[in-house]
Structure formats: C-alpha cells, structure tokens
Amino acid sequence: METATFGSGCFWCTEAVFQELNGVKSVISGYSGGHVENPSYRQVTTGRTGHAEVVQIEFDPHVITYEEILEVFFETHDPTTPNRQGNDVGPQYRSIILYHGDEQREIAERVKAKLDKAGKWKRSIVTEIVPFEVFYPAEDYHQDYYRSNPSDGYCRYVIRPKLDKFEKVFKLKLSK
C-alpha cells in the first residue's frame, strides 16, 4: 500500500471522489501543510493556520498508480485558482500535493508540467507541490461526509454534480 495526500478545495468533495476509485483502500479527511499542531476545523477555517483541507489516500499501486491518482486529482478541481475552489475561498482551499518521497515529487512535477504545457486550462496551474510533513485527521463528523449525508444541500448541489462528472470521465476506474 502507498499513501497520497492532496488538497483540492473542500475535503468533503475530494473524499467523495477518491472513495469511488478501484484500488483506493481508505480516504481520510484532514489538515496538512501548515504550522499549527493538531488544528481544529474552526482554526483551519480562519485561514491563519497555514493548513489546507486535504485527504490522505491509502491505495494499492498494483491496481491504481500514483500517476492515475494525480490524473483524477487534476481533473476533478480547478488547479489554476489560488486559494479558491468555487465558492470556497481562503488558503485552506488551495490546490496542493504533499508528496511522500522523491518518486512522488518527480511524478507530480512531471504531470503538472505536462498538463500546463498542453494548455488544458486557460490559466497556468498554481498547484503547490511540497514535501509531506504531518497529517491531522479532521473531526469525526467530517469523515465519510457525503456517504453519511447524501441528502444534505451541499451534498446534493455541490458534491453530487461533481461525482456525476467524475463518474462519466473515469467510469473504467470506479470500484463499483
């Protein structure tokens, strides 16, 4: 098993997407990339802890590669908007890859450069690629948020449409 850590906006959306992938064994929402130890959601939402909302993904590289996980990461959010995803604004919603080792760093840099060169987006990719240091799991009520609250307004109007788009693009990689 390997670990990947990403931030691409609200962790509820990111978690819901990666939970659908074949080869992904677990997805935990949390915080990383900042300077405050054991931050709370309330602290992170101030934007002053330096942390981003992230997910930590445990995956089987024999089923899905890190590069394929990066493909999903870049396809399911806008990596060109600094400190913002949709209506979520602040440094806690930044696009960030926290790599676990030189191989992940090299792959992330290569994929980012390839996508930037291809001009997939009108603006340049601003995704940070930084070394992983520490991960703090979010509070229990944030875990499995979409699966636990599918009728919640945010889930119906933000997460579900994102999942619908994701499922069409990545149907061959889904665990269902």
- Kindly list the catalytic residues: 10
Specify whether the CB–CB gap between 55 and 18 falls below 8 A: yes
Specify whether the CB–CB gap between 30 and 130 falls below 8 A: no
3-state secondary structure of 33: coil
Distance (Å, whole) CA 29 – CA 10: 9
* Residue at 151: amino acid letter: S
Phi, psi of 97 (to 5 degrees): -115, 120
Distance (Å, whole) CA 75 – CA 137: 24
Q: CA nearest 107: which of 140, 71, 157, 151? A: 71
